[in-house]
A and B are shown apart, each in its own frame.
Chain A
Amino acid sequence: MCGIVGLFLKDRSLEPKLGEMLTDMLITMTDRGPDSAGIAIYTAESDGRAKLTVQADDPATSFDKLDNALRKAIKGNVGLSVKDTHAVLDIQADQMDAARSYLTAHHPDVRIMSRGETLEIYKEVGLPKNVAERFDIRQMSGSHGIGHTRMATESAVTTLGAHPFNTGLDQCLVHNGSLSNHNSLRRKLRRAGVHIETENDTEVGAAYLTWKMQNGATLGEALQSSLTDLDGFFTFVVGTKDGFGVVRDPIACKPAVMAETDQYVAFGSEYRALVNLPGIETARIWEPEPATVYFWSHNTAPTEHEKAA
């Protein structure tokens, strides 16, 4: 199974309530995925700054003076805020690659969950209610976010097996379904030099999209080609800095419901996840078509990549 929720706000006055609304939606999807849960939130932008969200099994040790060490190594302005097993490193946007290389080389106990200007990803093993509480998701504000409740079928129940997966700067992916050609695709991607950490099928899906985009595809094109190259069942919801997208495989047996009002666009694996959103009684509600890429963006002037999506 697995449950997916997504919320994209058009009405900026709702932004302080994004965390709360998404948390309620996520908890409603607990019986679709009680193993682990995760949430990706696009927070307020800060000029010239970027965020690395990191995770450690022993945060007290791993995050102790991590900001000092990083500051020294990359010679930049670094902030650190710890939330349970995760921490957000606030860095200069132009030092993202340096910071990543340093962490990878010198702090193998610290895993990078996400990187981007506004994106933060939190995910852990446990009931969605508990995961949301640990990271105090209810208090978070943001412009849009996606969440996932996992019922594992293809690989182990671990933090790294939880969704969302970071696929590139400010990009993330959640998945309901199971990919059946992930082993061969993982070998192919590894031969192409793509780093894949686990035996998880969705990580391969995420790595595939990342690889496609590194080779010049737009997100829309990468999603479109996933319909040909990925075998299995999937409903994907992807987040980008400006919006979110939805694509379902041609068989479309994994459920999906969408709702749109003047205030928001919402996604749920089931309608239950949407019932407490404001104005849901009069929202336009529909089921996304199979093998069709949908995209919503805050950008008033869509760029090439949104057009492709």
Chain B
Amino acid sequence: MQTFDLEAEGLRALNSALHAQAANTNQTVWEILNPKGSHAIAVGLDAPIEVNVKGSTGYYCAGMNKQATVHVHGSTGPGTAENMMSGTVIVEGDASQYAGATGNGGTLIIKGNASSRCGISMKGIDIIVHGNIGHMSAFMAQSGNLVVCGDAGEALGDSLYEARLFVRGSVKSLGADCIEKEMRAEHLAILEELLERGGCDAKASEFKRYGSARKLYNFNIDNAY
């Protein structure tokens, strides 16, 4: 295992070392000490490595991730796993605003709560939150799945496209064009797999599904150019 003291060696050295790992690296497990809320930790990784961050982070932790597993043993600041392409990001604590924003793929698991704008403009990522999520989550979400074991804040799924939203608890309000939808067998199967992947202690049958009513301007073919 590689141990890296962020306070002693600095962010640039950390990210350079992580970027230098190729697909066949032998240095597959990394431990980062003293993150102390620093920004941009383990950003832009592209190798099948596991990075354990021992503490809480600041902005943009694990952004643009490909292949890697980044496990934060603490809470994360704004923009966690933003624009993730593949791989897995796990946050043991809470994640601040716009976690998983614009994510194309991979899995983001938040074991605490996520703040506002979680999964905004998500494009294929799966986001699994054990706790609650804040307002304007999944705004303009295009595809992928958002699973919330707790409650959702105001304006969930505003201007939603094809992403699936599963919420176990209450939803404070739905955003424009977001509606509750029927939970069919195929959705239960998808959700069961997601709950298992996320290590959630919850039954798929306890959730409601939300999605796009497809009534907004751009869903009407007569408005196409």
Size bracket, chain B contacts:
10 to 19
Shortest Cβ gap from B130 to chain A (Å): 16
- Which B11-67 residues have C-beta < 8 A from chain A? 36-38, 56-59
Contact of A255 with B78 in the complex, beta carbons under 8 Å = yes
Q: Verify if A295 is at the interface (C-beta below 8 Å from B).
A: no
The CA-CA distance from A257 to B134 in the complex, in Å, is 15
Judge if B111 is at the interface, Cβ distance under 8 Å: no
Q: Which of A97-105, A269-277, A298-306 contacts B (4 or more CB under 8 A)?
A: A269-277
Across-interface contacts of A253 in B (CB, < 8 A): 97, 116
CB pair B36–A275 under 8 Å, yes or no, is yes
Asked whether, in the complex, the Cβ of B77 is within 8 Å of the Cβ of A285, the reply is no
Distance (Å) between the CB of B199 and the closest chain A CB?
Answer: 22
Q: Is B123 an interface residue (CB 8 A)?
A: no
Inter-chain CA distance A160–B7, complex, in Å, is 36
A290-B97 CB under 8 A given contacts A270-B77, A271-B58: no
Q: Give 1 or 0 for each of A245-285: 1 = CB within 8 Å of chain B CB.
A: 00000101101010000000000001111110000000001
What 0/1 readout, one digit per residue, does chain B (86-100) give for beta carbons within 8 Å of chain A? 000000011011000
CB of B96 within 8 A of CB of A272, answer: no
Judge whether B78 and A271 touch: CB under 8 Å. no
Which A227-245 residues sit within 8 Å CB-CB of chain B? none
* A272 contacts B94, C-beta separation under 8 Å: no
A255 pairs with B75, CB closer than 8 A: no
Given contacts A252-B134, A275-B37, could you give 11 more A-B pairs where the C-beta distance is less than 8 Å? A253-B97, A270-B58, A270-B59, A271-B77, A272-B36, A275-B36, A285-B56, A285-B75, A285-B93, A285-B94, A287-B96
**Contact sample, A vs B, 26 pairs, CB 8 Å cutoff:** A250-B135, A252-B97, A252-B116, A252-B134, A253-B97, A253-B116, A255-B78, A255-B96, A257-B96, A270-B37, A271-B37, A271-B56, A271-B75, A272-B36, A272-B38, A272-B58, A273-B37, A274-B37, A275-B36, A275-B37, A285-B94, A287-B94, A287-B115, A290-B116, A290-B134, A290-B135
Chain B residues within CB distance 8 Å of chain A: 36-38, 56-59, 75, 77-78, 93-94, 96-97, 115-116, 134-135
